[in-house]
Amino acid sequence: MRKLGILLAVAVGLMGLAQTPKLGGELVIAFGTDPESLDPNKITSAPAGMVLTHVAETLLTMDENLEIRPLLAQSWKLAEDGRSLTLYLRKGVKFHDGTPFNAQAVKDNLERFRKATYAFLLFPRVQTIDIVDEYTVVLNLDMPFAPIVSHLTHNFVALVSPKQIAEVGDKEIMDPVGTGPFKFDKWVRGEYVRIVKNPDYWGDKPYLDAVKFLVVPSDATRLVLLETGQVHAIMRVPPLEAPRLRGVKGVEVVKLPSVRTIYIAFHYQRAPFTDVRVRQAFNYAVDKEAIVQTILGGVGGVSDAPIMPLIFGYAKQNPYPYDPEMAKKLLADAGYAKGLKIKFYHPTGRYMMDAAIAQAVQAYLRDVGVEVELITMEWAAYLAFLRKPLEESGFDMFMLGWGCVTLDADYGLFPLFHTSEWAPKGSNRSFYSHPTVDALLEQARVTVNYEARKALYADLIAFLWQDAGWLFLHYEEQINAQRTTAKGLIHHPREYILAHKAWLDR
Amino acid sequence: MIQYAIRRLLLAVPTLLGVSMLVFGILRMLPGDPATALAGVHATQEVVERIRAEHGLDKPIHLQYLGFMKDLFRGNLGKSIRTALPVTTEVVSRLIPTLELTAVSMVLAVLLGVIVGVISAAKPYTVFDYGSMLGALVGLSAPVFWLGLMLMLLFSLQLGWLPAAGRGDFRHLILPSVTLAASSVALIARFTRSTMLEVLRSEYIATARAKGLRESRVILRHALSNAMIPILTIIGLRFGALLSGAVLTENVFAWPGVGRLVVDSISARDYPVVQGAVLMIAVSFVFINLVVDLLYGVVNPRIRYD
Amino acid sequence: MLKRLVKHKLAILGALIVLAFLVAAAFAPYLAPRDPLKSSLREARKPPSPTYPLGTDHLGRDLLSRIIFGTRVSLLMAVISVGIGLAVGTPVGALSGFYGGATDMVTQRIVDIMMAFPGILLAIVVVAVLGPGLWNAMLAVGISFVPTYVRVVRGAVLELREREFVEASRATGASGLHIIVRHIMPNCIAPIIVLSTLQMASAILWAAGLGYLGLGAQPPTPEWGAMLGEGYNYGMIRVAPHVTIFPGVAIALAVLGFNLLGDGLRDALDPRLRGRL
């Protein structure tokens, strides 16, 4: 799976390199939602991250093959004890306003981030930031935190000019001044964000004059816009439309992995799900393969771990086969031979085909004697509903997705399974709790050695799988599409389309 | 009449006060708050609480309301929680595209609706009458997203005459305003036809006919002016509905209008923006309804204002 | 003569269409060829065929059976929400228009407030307070219809109250209520009927939007508006057009039936035409 995704991403990249790039032009990318902000501290969504990453760069970056690479930091070193990270910065870089990039700029940014970021999970352990010299910074952690390097690649940890930081004070940044290949130009809310070429970029200069990110909420409309050539690339093609779109001339469909796992969580502290046999029975009762193939049109894969295959720490398990008889037997063993009534909450319009999948799960469970009441909620109400503490929790099962954006198992497992992360504090909304799991999660966090960490996660995942804390469903893939005249676009698993090296073959 | 209009405008103040109170209260009755909505799936409680504190959402509700009212009297609608922009800027910038769309589609709907309605009433129970009725009902039953997409496929993809979506020059306005007008045409045409029929049956028209006036004159001069009141009512209602209810059309055509802003802001529980937008929409309603009421008097001078 | 006959026949046609839908609603379990909830993913998105006369949806459910069962929910949705708007809006509008003055001023300002209030916000509130589900969705849609009725009826009444026959009745000392019920209301029937028959379509379509926000009838309840919405939201309009077209046709047909019936009804109730037909 990992191979396939990489091949696709590379293939699209290579097509651009085969010809001599042409200079100039404005490339238009259509996406579904307006960024909520372009302030690194305030952004929480992929669309916002996608725009920002062209303008404001990070210290480290993760390329489309999910390898960690230097960006504003030329190299880095994690201390043996895992308690500090030294970053050696790139020289000769300037922010768009002419301010030089140096250790002080990094410190100013990270201090601001630490003080008020919304993406707090990304940056939990940094205590102090030391400037060693003009181009060397050390981050000191309060305890070893192995995933820190991958956290620094995340686009929310993007750096802006220290001059701008001083100017805005406590206010929000509206027009980020970064070091990126493009400069912020204009943002018409609800309509588009436009960025223009930075002629003084420190790296390879971009070919395009400008990139416009067009907000087009309707999936169907984005397709028409691409087909008419009004835009050059679109995100989130509905899976059922992909086969048709592949036959359209001048259009290229790009399928690539996403880092989001979709799961159904059981209320771990409440009957009937305190019984592992019931949890396993539910896993046997649902035909995940049919859901992925038919409802998702093959855009995704059946989960074989609580995190998807591209994430560090992934360890493949055998998916519970579709076996309604086994499910019935397990339910009977657990004392539910006569059936069972369950309240199942799910979102609608949030994840790919979410409500349809919930209905399919309901139908499968009905076949093994489980009567499922489906309850759907408006998203903000749903979030609040799932943030209630144990005593007030009202669900038996719920569906949710988790994007492991750091590409490190810690972010994909710790917040969801560790006892200290129980709602409302963290994201363990199903009140999962097991001493073995807690111990392994904690140990993996402080283990710096690559192989040793990997082994810990393998043990952990094998345990979670047997324990069936979730009804394991699937991980999503994404389908983007582009005109064949748009060359060198990079479709990134973090749900970005990157135009850094793109050009238009006009 | 002028006195009446002034009184009405003065009464707008308590009306708007009522709107603001209602929206303020109801928003806070909704499950979820801006902090949970903004922070999203990945957030920790710590962040949620910080966002609450940043925006004063942790204060008692009556203090929040007082603060809101204080700002309001200074003409300050506050700042968006999601985007940090002043609400006034945000709402006005989104109200303009909506007004464009509404105005064009209303002109279309009124012209087409009244013409079709009048002809149908003049020639009732004919092929034209039933044909137009069928057309109107299809226009009414077709969901906006379906109709919009069909128009796009035909005029943008097949024929290449018009841009499919987005805002730009006048050509961008055509498809969304036609889509938006469709259901209004149906309503206006059916109303016009029905009231015209009613009027045409009255003694008053019989007298006009008996005097030997030409039929076209009877219909246009005498009947239409008498049928104007229900038609005006419907036009006023549609205008209002389009202002706040063009969400679906705005979505389909990626039109950056206020309907989308309101819905997005409700989803994000962005209290200040919803409050501000509803308040400004309410102002437009007060005006529309006032104009309609004044026009009642113009088309039928017997209607008094008191 | 011929015209009157045609008119009559069309009203009967309207009645027949409505009746057909009522029968479908009442006898859905007997008429539907299959279980409307039974999904079979292997049979998903099949075009119309002898096995599935109208094809299947994205979960492989029989579309014909879902449309037949959907009659129950959708007609109920249409009738109840229009009923709420009608029952509340008509008397308020009539009183407001007839008495004018302070009564009118106050009612109309309340209407201003209601109209400015976004329907979706109202729906979320109702669902938040009363819980999700069909009845509450109908209530929300019904409430949002009220201002329309108030304005339409008031407009009609404003004009009627200046007419000679009302003045005459007033001169004889008849009470306000008497005049409204006996003289004004019968003359308002036409706009009310037209409005109601047309609002039914809006009510059903509203359900599509509410369903998408998780505020309408809870899945898998078959319901026309939600079926349309699924066709759109899941990207099936172009690749499996039957999924959207057939529920759309059902809505259009129902609205047509109600309209034809409404036209006939109006003629039957029109005081000036009474006895002439």
Per-residue b/e over C199-224, b at no fewer than 16 CB within 10 Å?
bbbbbbbbbbbbbbbbbbbbbbbbbb
Judge: C198–B244 Cβ closer than 8 Å, yes or no.
no
| A174-206 per-position pLDDT tens digit | 999 999 999 999 999 989 999 999 999 999 999
> C146, C163, C192, C194: which to substitute to probe chain B, counting the most B Cβ within 10 Å?
C194
* Winning range, highest mean pLDDT, from A107-121, A281-295, B57-71, C104-118: A281-295
ipTM given for this complex: 0.89
Please, which pLDDT band fits residue C276 given cuts at 50, 70 and 90? Answer: very low
pLDDT of residue B30: 86
SS (H, E, C) chain C: CHHHHHHHHHHHHHHHHHHHHHHHHHCHHHHCCCCCCCCCHHHCCCCCCCCCCCCECCCCCEHHHHHHHHHHHHHHHHHHHHHHHHHHHHHHHHHHHHHCHHHHHHHHHHHHHHHHCCHHHHHHHHHHHHCCCHHHHHHHHHHHHHHHHHHHHHHHHHHHCCCHHHHHHHHCCCCHHHHHHHHHHHHHHHHHHHHHHHHHHHHHHHHHHHHHCCCCCCCCCCCHHHHHHHHHHCCCCCCCCHHHHHHHHHHHHHHHHHHHHHHHHHHHHCCCCCCCC
Q: Between A287, A291, A355, which is nearest C219 by CB?
A: A355
pLDDT above 70 for A485: yes
On whether any CB of chain C is under 8 Å from the CB of B274, the answer is: yes
Q: Does C192 reside within a domain? A: yes
Q: Which residues of B touch A221 (CB under 8 A)?
A: 149, 152, 164-165, 252-254
Contacts of A284 (CB under 8 A, 6+ apart): A320, A321, A322, A323, A324, A326, A327, A330
CA distance B217 to chain C (A): 22
C120 neighbors B263 (Cβ within 8 angstroms): yes
Whether residue B130 is predicted with pLDDT greater than 70 in this model: the reply is yes
Nearest CA in chain C to A243: C239
Is the model more confident about B208 or about B130? B130
- C121: which chain A residues are within 8 Å (Cβ-Cβ)? none
Our measurement of the distance from residue B27's CA atom to the centroid of its chain's CA atoms, rounded to an integer in Å, reads: 21
Residue A504, pLDDT score: 94
C39, C132, C215 member nearest A360 (Cβ): C39
CB pairs under 8 A between A and C: 87
Q: Residues C150, C96: contact at Cβ < 8 Å?
A: yes
CB contact under 8 A, B157 and A401: no
Mutation for A interface: B41, B154, B159, B273, most A CBs within 10 A: B41
- Partner residue facing B306 (CB), from C100, C108, C154: C100
Q: Which residues of A touch B43 (CB under 8 A)?
A: 44, 118, 120-121, 427
Is B232 touching A (CB cutoff 8 A)? no
**Closest approach of A135 to chain B, Cα-based (Å):** 32
Digit-coded pLDDT (tens) for C15-70: 999 999 999 999 999 999 999 988 888 888 889 999 899 999 989 999 999 999 99
Distance between CA atoms of residues C111 and C143, nearest Å: 11
Shortest alpha-carbon distance between residue A372 and chain C (Å): 11
Using pLDDT thresholds of 50, 70 and 90, give the confidence band for residue C3: low
Lookup: tokens for A335: 């004392």
CA C133, CA C80: separation in Å to the nearest integer? 14
Residues 33-92 of B with CB under 8 A from A: 33, 36-48, 50-51, 82-85, 90
The average pLDDT across A385-403 equals 93
Q: Does A3 score more than 70 pLDDT?
A: no
Cβ within 8 Å of C, B 101-120? none
Which burial class, exposed, middle or buried, applies to A79 when counting CB atoms under 10 A from its CB (0-12, 13-18, 19+)?
middle
CA separation for the pair C41, C45 (Å, rounded) = 9
Residue B285, number of CB atoms within 10 A of its CB: 26
What fold does the segment set A257-477 form as a domain? Dipeptide-binding Protein; domain 3 (3.10.105)
List of chain B residues whose C-beta atoms are within 8 Å of the C-beta of residue C158: 229, 296, 303
Continuous segment of H or E residues that includes residue B225: helix B224-245
What are the phi and psi torsion angles at A174 (to 5°)?
A: -100, -30
Is residue C106 situated within a structural domain?
Answer: yes
- Strand A503-504 versus strand A486-487 pairing type: antiparallel
Shortest Cα–Cα distance, A429 to chain C (Å): 21
Contact B120, B185 (CB under 8 A): no
| Full-model pTM | 0.90
CA distances from B280 to A30, B34, B77, B111, B240 (A): 30, 21, 10, 28, 12
Structural domain tally of chain C? 1
Query: Chain centroid to CA A395: how far?
Result: 26
Average pLDDT score over residue span A292-306: 93
Name all chains with 3 or more CB-CB pairs below 8 Å to chain B: A, C
Tell me the CATH number at C153. Answer: 1.10.3720.10
Calpha distance B142→C229 (Å, rounded)? 12
Cβ-contact C40, C76 below 8 angstroms:
no
Testing the interface with C: which of B134, B145, B279 to mutate, by most C Cβ within 10 A?
A: B145
- Whether the CB-CB separation of A476 and A258 falls below 8 Å is answered with yes
- Which pLDDT value is given to residue A348? 85
Question: Would you tell me how many other CB atoms lie within 10 Å of the CB of residue A318?
Answer: 7
pLDDT at B248: 84
Between the two ends of chain B, the Cα-to-Cα distance in Å is: 9
User: A2-180+488-504 has which CATH code?
Assistant: 3.90.76.10
Contacts of A42 in chain B (CB under 8 A): 84
Q: Where are the domains of chain A?
A: 2-180+488-504, 257-477
| Separation of alpha carbons C152 and B174, rounded Å | 30
* Contact call for B142 and C116, based on CB within 8 A: no
Is the pLDDT at A1 greater than 60, yes or no?
no
pLDDT for the residue numbered B215: 78
Structure tokens at A135: 């181009």
A170: helix, strand or coil? coil
Provide, as residue numbers in chain A, all residues whose Cβ is less than 8 Å from the Cβ of B38.
36, 44, 118
The answer to whether residue A290 neighbours chain C at the CB level (below 8 Å) is yes
Minimal Cβ distance to A36: which of B47, B82, B260: B82
Q: What are phi and psi of C246, to 5 degrees?
A: -65, -45
A356 touches chain C (CB under 8 A): yes
Q: Are B189 and B128 in contact (CB under 8 A)?
A: no
Highest mean pLDDT among A463-472, B92-101, C107-116, C160-169: A463-472
Give the model confidence (pLDDT) of A230-248 as tens digits.
999 999 999 999 999 999 9
Instruction: Enumerate helices (H) and strands (E) in chain B, giving the number of each.
Output: 14, 0
Please report residues of B whose CB lies closer than 8 A to that of A225. 164-166
| Contacts B29 to C, Cβ<8 Å | 125, 128-129
Domain coverage including residue C111: 76-276
Average pLDDT over residues A23-35: 93
- Calpha distance B165→B252 (Å, rounded): 8
Residue A28 amino acid letter: V
CB C208 within 8 A of CB A334: no
Nearest CA in chain A to B38: A44
* Chain B contacts in chain A segment 41-80 (CB below 8 A): 42, 44-45
**Who among B40, B45, B83 is closest to A189 (CB)?**
B83
Please report, as a single letter, which amino acid is at residue B236: G
Write the pLDDT tens digit of every residue in B19-32.
Answer: 888 889 888 888 88
The dihedrals phi and psi of A187, each to the nearest 5 degrees, come to -135, 110
Residue A243, preceding peptide bond in cis (omega within 30° of 0): no
Contact (Cβ atoms closer than 8 angstroms) between residue C74 and residue C204? yes
The answer to whether residue A390 neighbours chain B at the CB level (below 8 Å) is no
**What does the pLDDT look like over A11-28, one tens digit per residue?**
454 454 567 889 999 999
H/E stretch holding C95 reads helix C63-99
Cβ within 8 Å of residue C76, ≥6 positions away: C134, C138
Closest-approach residue (CA) in chain C for B138: C252
pLDDT grade for B207, boundaries at 50, 70 and 90: confident
- Chain A 161-180, residues with CB within 8 Å of chain C CB atoms: none
Question: Is A299 an interface residue toward C (CB < 8 Å)?
Answer: no
**Which residues of chain B form CATH 1.10.3720.10?**
96-299
The DSSP secondary-structure symbol of B142 reads S
Question: Does the beta-carbon distance from B166 to A225 stay under 8 Å?
Answer: yes
Which of A34, A120, A170, A348 has the most B C-beta neighbours within 10 Å, making it the best mutation to test the interface with B? A120
Per DSSP, the three-state class of B22 is helix
Cβ–Cβ gap C112/B286 under 8 Å: yes
* Total Cβ atoms within 10 A of residue A134: 12
A169 in reach of chain B (CB within 8 A): no
Interface test with C, best of B137, B154, B229 (most C CBs within 10 A): B137
Give me the pLDDT at residue B305, please.
62
Which residues in chain C have Cβ-Cβ distances shorter than 8 Å to B14?
109
Within an 8 Å CB–CB cutoff, is residue B178 touching chain A?
Answer: no
CATH for B96-299, options being 1.10.3720.10, 3.30.1360.40, 3.20.20.20, 2.40.128.20: 1.10.3720.10
| Contact flag A220-B149 (C-beta cutoff 8 Å) | yes
C152 in a domain, yes or no? Answer: yes
